[in-house]
Amino acid sequence: MKHTSRIASIYKDLQQQMCRQLEKGDGKGLFQQLPWTKDIGSGLTCVMKNGDVIEKAGLNFSHVEGDFSDKMEALLGMKAARYSATGISSIIHPFNPFVPIIHMNVRFFELDNGVCWFGGGIDLTPHYIDESEAAWFHRSLKDICDQYNGDYYPDYKAWADNYFFIKHRNETRGVGGIFFDRVQPQDEGELDRLLNYTIDLAKAYPRIYNQIMDKKRNKPYEQSHKQWQAMRRGRYVEYNLVYDRGTKFGLESGGNIESILVSMPPMAQWEYSFEPSLESPEQHTLDLLKKEIDWIKKE
């Protein structure tokens, strides 16, 4: 379609830059390059396993096109005959329970009726919430957002709080970040500005995580911390399978199933009615899994 191929080329190159930066930050792990092709298009799934800090990471690129099905129409609430989409998505699960999970996605969607939009964001899911780290993370995102629009950070931070919410647990998935979807450019100039915004977010992703890895890669931990990490990973699985729109759309559009589910942690655990000790680090984390926390004020 009119814009998708150009943006796909940019995103594909950007994916490789991000892989190299994360490899350098980890210091050991390398991304395995796994191209795939299906009737609807193609992509490149990059997977790292058993690095120095990173236990499992997926960093995916895709460029797909196909018929706009009735189920897609119901999911997106609009009519069209054909669609095209491209994007980068990534998830990182670390070994160390004091290093957080991080997720990033930028994407562009275009319909043959002329409608197109961008979406994406970055969010952080600590197993143990570090308030100063959460504040620094949110400040980093706000600094990028403010270069484009002063309303982006407050609006997209609130959107993330509501989107990354596990309703059946009444808790947020982590400390949030920013999330936006279906942001439609009104002209070519705005399209390029929104494209540059998604590029800046994607470039910030490895830079942010490398700084966290450098700070916490050698932080000591015990088996009890690993057990808590496994249970928090279980919450991540619950969210992705029950609520995540990207997972639902990927399955509905006939995308590559291995790439869609690469976000799952290598190991997770569920324990019946687990309640941490009062005033424990685990309870402190649960107490902070709430919407509308002004993390930047905690700097």
Other beta carbons less than 10 A from residue 57's beta carbon: 26
Q: Quote the CA–CA distance of 126 and 132 in Å, as a whole number.
A: 12
Task: Please answer whether residues 237 and 265 qualify as being in contact, where contact means their C-beta atoms are separated by less than 8 angstroms.
Answer: yes
Q: Quote the CA–CA distance of 194 and 192 in Å, as a whole number.
A: 5
For residue 117, give the DSSP letter: E
Q: Which residues are catalytic?
A: 103
CA distances from 142 to 21, 121, 172, 177, 248 (A): 22, 12, 20, 9, 29
Helix (H) or strand (E) holding 230: helix 223-242
For residue 188, give both structure tokens: 């070519």
